[in-house]
Structure 1
């Protein structure tokens, strides 16, 4: 009986050792992008795993900035690589990889990755 308790305690210590603290601290990407509710030309947005899809009804002058901010905030919340896909608002059923997007922006752990959005 004592031996089994030692084994269980040892396994628990090993499990905690191998689970990175960042995985425990990670949140949902939607927590970091609620500011999009207040952006005038954003018609809708949704989270699809580690992808954020934003439906734009027209493009604002600071379009690049909003994509950049969404990518950084979502990656800070999740601590993983995040892709922000900008599409037209009429592409409601669009999913990543289908093509026809306006642009893509990436960020990882709060650091900007790359984008093909024009400034």
Structure 2
């Protein structure tokens, strides 16, 4: 039978995924999402191969899966042009651009705290 202290402790546990912080991490977390956001912020529109060349050591499959996740989250727009060879461009949605302040804050923190 749990004592009063254990009951209090258990009732204070919050599932991280149910918080704004947890949601934000799910959208920008992972090895490459924030890097993709950075490149799309810098260039506005990029083709798949441009992103691939810009992000060192990312595989075609990982880039493809990550872009699909970001598209599903409403962060990235995928625009396909019906031509041969196929042409696909990626850009940020308004929702994706709303992350600019988050990325700026991360960059500022890095500048202030990096040891150069």
TM above 0.5, yes or no, is no
- What is the TM-score when the length of structure 1 is the normalising length? 0.28
- What is the TM-score when the length of structure 2 is the normalising length? 0.28
- The structure with the greater share of residues assigned to helix is 2
- The structure with the greater share of residues assigned to strand is 1
